[in-house]
Amino acid sequence: MLWKKPLGELRRALLRGELTPAELIESYYERFNRTEDKIKAFITPLYEQALEQARKLKEPRGKLWGIPVAVKDNILTEGYRTTCASKILENFVAPYDATVVKRIKDEGALIVGKTNLDEFAMGSSTEHSAFFPTRNPWDLERVPGGSSGGSAAAVAALSAPLALGSDTGGSIRQPAAFCGVIGIKPTYGRVSRYGLVAFASSLDQIGVFGRRTEEVALLLEVISGKDERDSTSADEPVPRWSESFSRVPEKLRLGVVKEATELGIQKEVLEVFNEFLKALEKEGHELVEVSLPALKYAVPTYYIVAPSEASSNLARYDGVRYGYRSKEYRDVWEMYAKTRAEGFGPEVKRRIMLGTFALSAGYYDAYYLKAQKVRRLIADEFEEAFKRVDALVTPTAPTLPFKLGERLDDPIKMYMSDVLTVPASLAGLPAVSVPAGWVNGLPVGVQFIGRRWDEELLLQLSYLWEQLSRHYEKVPLEG
């Protein structure tokens, strides 16, 4: 069973000619066929197309030559559907590749499918997909997190070794925690957003899921860097993160965020977190309590800023140029209204209304402007904290993976799933979630937050923990 082997080992076998790309794809395809009916991670599986491409590959070329990668279905892939898990884009075929997709293809990667998500990446459970919910591979009655739940579940179940996701307020890190895999959101501007369907443009960032840190580092390395087609992508050098693990610092000062343990954290999550901290201390790292008082305002701030940007970004879905159009209408205004009413799901409509209200005349200063000021305050507090410590550490999610349907009727409870991931997003900081432990067979994640552009240290911390915990050895759905 090739899919069970470390990706680094498989990659070396490919480059030495001991394994063909077609054999590798076939193995993951077999795993997909055994698990997909249970978890429903993919909206559009592309294994057969990937296998066809793999058979044509002859000479090794590129860092990801012959490696299967799953792609979240809000990232454009030329010639294939990109639905954003929404009825309004159900039959939309992307006319070009997103920059990240072009970059992984240029390095020889093979795309094995488009993964499920909460509609337009708005959600924390992947239950808001217009097509079907995705299930957690560790417990099929529970959610995989969201919005990148399909990507996280595919990597956890090993129907794909690596996946791309997007993170606006925690959409990579929270599902990574719920599915027991590594998920990294890079610094805002590190990775091009060209070809990522916009939710909240000042927050959206593409990142990576994987089971081992070296694999995550390699994929992040490939997709990072300046892109002239995205004015928000930064001209920062991209270090060779995949080669940085021989120089992991022996002693670090890590800030334990006081407020992060006071925000309604489930007892079992807190117990795993405390054991995690003890293990870091035992390794010789110094733990320092850090206070970020504005943290408690992060969720309300986020749920003004993100919906405001969403209401603007989603105005383009009007039934005129592309996507779904209502069948019956009397004039153009009715066509707009009925198309949007029929095409968008309830969570997307809720956020459009929230955002439109926050931006409306008479309310802009009271809501949006104030939220932007609080956002600045949160960023300043992080900056101050980093004068004392090398990185910050918090639980990733306040609870264990919750049951399907448990929070669907309570939007506020659902929004609080992001209480620990939203702050780093508002500040544009890089953050990684690593599997820290298990409670009754369910994974618990811990999050490291770093300084801007310091993905290297976060990856090194992930690697350090991986050597201690060997979390990647656990595989769900083995029976």
Q: Place 479 in a pLDDT band, splitting at 50, 70 and 90.
A: low
* Catalytic residue flag (residue 72): yes
pLDDT per residue over 67-117, tens digit each? 999 999 999 999 999 999 999 999 999 999 999 999 999 999 999 999 999
Which one of the listed residues 72, 105, 114, 185 is annotated catalytic?
72
Tell me if 462 is assigned to some domain.
Answer: yes
For residues 213-225, give the mean pLDDT: 98
Tell me if 197 is assigned to some domain.
Answer: yes
Residue at 418: amino acid letter? D
Tell me if 427 is assigned to some domain.
Answer: yes
For residues 389-414, give the mean pLDDT: 97
Distance CA 183, CA 455 (A): 12
Task: Give Cβ neighbours of residue 444 (< 8 Å, ≥ 6 apart).
Answer: 177, 268, 269, 272, 273, 395, 400, 435, 436, 437, 438
Confidence (pLDDT) at 357 = 96
Number of helices and strands in the chain (H, E): 15, 11
Which one of the listed residues 129, 147, 148, 233 is annotated catalytic?
147
Among residues 111, 120, 110, 112, the alpha carbon closest in space to that of 146 is found at: 120
Rounded to 5°, the CA angle 153-159-164 comes to: 60
Residue at 435: amino acid letter? P
Tell me if 169 is assigned to some domain.
Answer: yes
> Which residues does residue 205 pair with via DSSP β-bridges, in sequence order?
167
CATH of residue 116's domain is: 3.90.1300.10
DSSP-derived 3-state class of residue 403: strand
360-367 contacts: CB < 8 A, separation 24 or more? 367/304
Structure tokens at 345: 């799901």
Among residues 124, 119, 193, 162, the alpha carbon closest in space to that of 10 is found at: 162
Task: Give Cβ neighbours of residue 199 (< 8 Å, ≥ 6 apart).
Answer: 74, 120, 121, 122, 166, 168, 306, 309, 310, 313
Q: Place 262 in a pLDDT band, splitting at 50, 70 and 90.
A: confident
Tell me if 37 is assigned to some domain.
Answer: yes
pLDDT per residue over 360-379, tens digit each? 988 999 999 999 999 999 99
DSSP for 273-291, please give it: HHHHHHHHHHTTPEEEEE-
* Domain interval for residue 235: 2-255+387-473
The CB-side HSE value for 357 (13 A sphere, CA atoms) comes to: 8
Please tell me the total count of domains within the chain: 1
pLDDT per residue over 425-453, tens digit each? 999 999 999 999 999 999 999 999 999 99
Tell me if 157 is assigned to some domain.
Answer: yes
Tell me if 320 is assigned to some domain.
Answer: no
For residues 342-351, give the mean pLDDT: 97
For the stretch 217-230, what's the b/e string if a residue is b when 16 or more beta carbons lie within 10 angstroms of its beta carbon? bbbbbbbbbebeeb
Q: Place 125 in a pLDDT band, splitting at 50, 70 and 90.
A: very high
Mean residue pLDDT across the chain: 97
pLDDT per residue over 175-201, tens digit each? 999 999 999 999 999 999 999 999 999
Edge-to-edge strand ranges of the sheet holding 42-45 = 42-45, 110-115, 68-72, 162-167, 205-210, 182-185, 431-439, 442-449, 391-395, 253-257, 286-290
Confidence (pLDDT) at 246 = 85
Confidence (pLDDT) at 248 = 81
Tell me if 325 is assigned to some domain.
Answer: no
Q: Place 250 in a pLDDT band, splitting at 50, 70 and 90.
A: confident
Peptide bond into 308 cis (omega under 30): no
Structure tokens at 448: 């490291």
Q: Does residue 249 carry a pLDDT above 90?
A: no
Cβ–Cβ under 8 Å, residues 468 and 279: yes
Q: Place 254 in a pLDDT band, splitting at 50, 70 and 90.
A: very high
pLDDT per residue over 268-316, tens digit each? 999 999 999 999 999 999 999 999 999 999 999 999 999 999 999 999 9
Which one of the listed residues 27, 129, 151, 171 is annotated catalytic?
171
Percentage of the residues of the chain whose pLDDT score is greater than 90: 96
Q: Does residue 43 carry a pLDDT above 70?
A: yes
